[in-house]
Structure 1
Amino acid sequence: MSIPPLVRPRPVHRAGDLLSAYLPGSFYFSSARGALLADGVHSWVRPGSGARVMAAAEALEAAATAGVAEPVVAGAVRFRPEGESGLFVPSVVRRSGAPAAVRAPEAEPGTAWTVTPRPEPARYADGVRRALELIRDGELRKVVLARSLELTAEAPVWVPALLARLVRADPAAYAFAVDVTAPGDWAPRTLVGASPELLVSRRGATVVANPLAGSAPRSGDDAVDRERIARLRDSAKDLGEHAHTATQVAEVLGRFCVDLDVPERPEVIGTPTMWHLSTRITGRLKDPADPACSSLGLAEALHPTPAVCGVPGPRALGAIADLEPEERGYFAGLVGWTGLDGDGEWAVTIRSAEVCDRTVRLSAGAGIVAGSDPDAELAETGAKFRTLLRALGLEDVA
């Protein structure tokens, strides 16, 4: 009679404990599905974008062979698909249920900040006008233009406190913190944020994507917000902008799925600072064992969606390079994890910032389509900054 091998149960952690245990250099990701905290580097995934999915699968197999328990590939990928990524297999992974009510220190009162917009607001509005010319000329149907705020504090910014405040403000968001230190950085650099947008999630043969496009600021006044929600639901401009994204996401997932459910009309979902048109798309995979059908493989196939780039994609990428004065880096890229079985979760890195010592760089974008107004798009990016600014105690800066 053979004795079955001893299977150790997975340790049970509390979401608040994982959040409290996060330190810069670790990887943190949480959503309504659960929280994951990863430490140490067993191996890196370093190829170009064309080979990233296969390299990740090979890294996971090698880690499992080496005895890493329940290995995952985790990290972030830049906006430019051909750009470098920060994907790795951690040495240790801890998991918990979804975060609920968590403690977080308040933002330091009276902290002095220097704020530098990049580009200046007037220049961003000029970029929107140039984008509208390209749309009128028929070169584009949509392009997303981003701008940044560079904030400099008197003292180094403590990322764990900032992350905790983001999770406390919206426990259902896709909250993340990942080390993105690059050669030439004189201090550690962390990408941190609380994204409302799921790029793709996989469990077994089931996949879910939840593209967002078409937005309005949340006011905090119930009557005003009801009016804004109604206006968003009926806005031809916003519905058209959303359709670009939902259609493309459905088309891409349709290549991998035998069944796909795409609602006819979007619904409106809310965050503490914004309202968004949202379409939740679900499907069943043809071949879950194919590495291309892993959560990372699906994320790579989808990225960048029209929600962060434009239509048609290649021309929108070129317009973004011409119209935005600085590289986006990890803003509007993707962050998440994938396991040995292909399951995992990837979010779009919006409502995010890069923190390096005393400097915090926030980015936000707006979708430009026919009928867009430069001043309104400027105001929309300002509203989107509020997620991070509120966590820093600087909401009025927007």
Structure 2
Amino acid sequence: MATLTTENQTFPGFAYAEQSTFLYRSEFRSLSASGVFERIETPAFGGEQEDSALAQHIRQTLARAKAAGQAVPVVVGAIPFDTRRPSSLYVPENCQFVANDSFTRAARPMLQQPHRLAACTSIPDEPRFKHAVAEAVSRFKQGKLDKAVLSRILDIELEQPVAGHQILNNLMVQNPTGYHFSLPLADGGVLLGASPELLIRKQGGEIHTNPLAGSARRQDDARQDRLGSERLMRSTKDKYEHKLVIDDIRRRLAPLCASLSVPSGPSLLSTGTMWHLSTRIRGELLNPALNVMQLACLLHPTPALCGFPTESARQLIADLEPHDRGLFSGIVGWCDANGDGEWAIVIRSGLLRGNRVRLFAGAGIVAASTPQSEWMETAAKLGTMLNAFGLNSGAL
């Protein structure tokens, strides 16, 4: 089987390969943005309010950009998992909306040798992660918590530096659907990924969200893969985990909507490495003037990335996770001056700085979870990014 890797070369037609450029691709709209007109680091905490510090900062910055000659200024970037931390948002100097398939059509598979590892460390390691899962399950018995999402990071050092746009190329080849992004950060790093999960999309008065919760690893054998997807659809544990997420999102959005369409049960969504339980939710806002950033801050973080109840899950994560998630399991996307835009969850993603890579994966823990199965789930989810680097996930 051909290995997709990242030789330092220009891909035919890959016109958006600048590492300093923000790229975002989805089935809705895709854009390329360059330069920084003004950064917005105001934390998103309380951002669901129209008069929040973040909302005011965004309005003022967009107004300044328009006064400086930008016809249709936009805000792009990411908000961290912990909304009390600084945001990584900015208004670019230039922004171009492009055909949705422009990026994926330009991506090209390559036959090269995979990158070689110099070092690789999981934080926490396997015993500590499994201990955290067991501790979380024991706390569920106290009746104060229904779900918590525990994560781990994989710190990788490669023998040679890698360019972010080359990894994005591989992600688009290997995962042609979903939400592709590459975000240049103020410290010189690049956040990139291929997320399968939509937090919120708004166009006029219409909104969409597509939460995922409950998952299973894809199998190479077609029959085993089909059986695995069928088991996932029957899984009491996974359906319970999924229902917690859907019920919470419905509770938050329903008061804002004239109508809210929520399917009676989940469907299957597949990526190159995973099956997910998926529910596509559509709504019509009572007030079409609501800003997509307000809606994003209202929902984020959902129980799919944090747990339920939210504050109890946050505390458990703080108690049991030895690392700072930063932008991982945050949100990435864009918002225009009309309040329309789209935000995806920062999963199946990585931070790239030269030859150093940090990857992230999490698993939803409920009372029926087992430490071994949750460890294996994080390993499977890491496969998306490891494949993009040409690394064998089975060897890590």
Give the alignment's TM-score, normalised by structure 2: 0.91
Alpha-carbon offset, residue 383 of structure 1: 0.2
The alignment status of 1:397 with 2:395, answered yes or no, reads yes
Of 44-53 and 131-140, the range deviating more from structure 2: 44-53
The alignment status of 1:298 with 2:303, answered yes or no, reads no
Equivalent residue for 1:319?
316
Equivalent residue for 1:28?
23
The alignment status of 1:378 with 2:375, answered yes or no, reads yes
Distance 1:123 1:343, change over 3 A: same
Question: Could you tell me whether the CA contact under 8 Å between 2:156 and 2:356 is conserved in 1?
Answer: yes
Equivalent residue for 2:97?
95
Distance in 1, matches of 2:263 and 2:308, equals 21
Question: Could you tell me whether the CA contact under 8 Å between 1:337 and 1:344 is conserved in 2?
Answer: yes
| Superposed structure 1 runs of 4+ greater than 6 Å apart | none
The alignment status of 1:44 with 2:31, answered yes or no, reads no
Alpha-carbon offset, residue 101 of structure 1: 3.6
Question: Could you tell me whether the CA contact under 8 Å between 2:107 and 2:172 is conserved in 1?
Answer: no
Equivalent of 1:112 in 97, 112, 116: 116
Equivalent residue for 2:338?
341
Equivalent residue for 1:163?
168
Alpha-carbon offset, residue 253 of structure 1: 1.4
Question: Could you tell me whether the CA contact under 8 Å between 1:78 and 1:330 is conserved in 2?
Answer: yes
Equivalent residue for 1:6?
none
Question: Could you tell me whether the CA contact under 8 Å between 1:32 and 1:171 is conserved in 2?
Answer: no
Q: Which amino acid aligns with 1:244?
A: L
Question: Could you tell me whether the CA contact under 8 Å between 1:389 and 1:397 is conserved in 2?
Answer: no
Question: Could you tell me whether the CA contact under 8 Å between 2:16 and 2:23 is conserved in 1?
Answer: no
Of 53-62 and 276-285, the range deviating more from structure 2: 53-62
Equivalent residue for 2:362?
365
Question: Could you tell me whether the CA contact under 8 Å between 1:102 and 1:167 is conserved in 2?
Answer: no
Question: Could you tell me whether the CA contact under 8 Å between 1:216 and 1:275 is conserved in 2?
Answer: yes
Alpha-carbon offset, residue 112 of structure 1: 1.9
Equivalent residue for 2:57?
55
Distance in 2, matches of 1:107 and 1:245, equals 41
- Per-residue CA deviation, residues 173-221 of structure 1 (Å, 9 max, x unaligned), is 1011112244xxxxx2111100000000011110000000000011132
Q: Which runs of 5+ in 1 are unaligned?
A: 1-15, 183-187
Query: CA RMSD for the aligned pairs?
Result: 1.5
Equivalent residue for 2:229?
229
Equivalent residue for 1:329?
326
Alpha-carbon offset, residue 342 of structure 1: 1.1
Alpha-carbon offset, residue 222 of structure 1: 1.6
Alpha-carbon offset, residue 57 of structure 1: 2.5
Equivalent residue for 2:287?
287
Q: Which amino acid aligns with 1:174?
A: Y
Give the SS at the match of 2:15: helix
Question: Could you tell me whether the CA contact under 8 Å between 2:29 and 2:99 is conserved in 1?
Answer: yes
Question: Could you tell me whether the CA contact under 8 Å between 1:22 and 1:37 is conserved in 2?
Answer: no
Equivalent residue for 1:143?
148
In the alignment of these two chains, the number of paired residues is 374
Q: Which amino acid aligns with 1:95?
A: F
Question: Could you tell me whether the CA contact under 8 Å between 1:288 and 1:342 is conserved in 2?
Answer: no
Alpha-carbon offset, residue 48 of structure 1: 2.7
Equivalent residue for 1:12?
none
Q: Which amino acid aligns with 1:104?
A: R
Give the SS at the match of 2:272: coil
Equivalent of 2:81 in 79, 82, 89: 79
Equivalent residue for 1:243?
243
Give the alignment's TM-score, normalised by structure 1: 0.91
Give the SS at the match of 1:20: coil
Distance in 2, matches of 1:110 and 1:259, equals 50
Distance 1:255 1:22, change over 3 A: farther
Distance in 2, matches of 1:103 and 1:279, equals 29
- Identity level (%): 39
Distance in 1, matches of 2:186 and 2:220, equals 37
Q: Which runs of 5+ in 2 are unaligned?
A: 1-11, 47-52
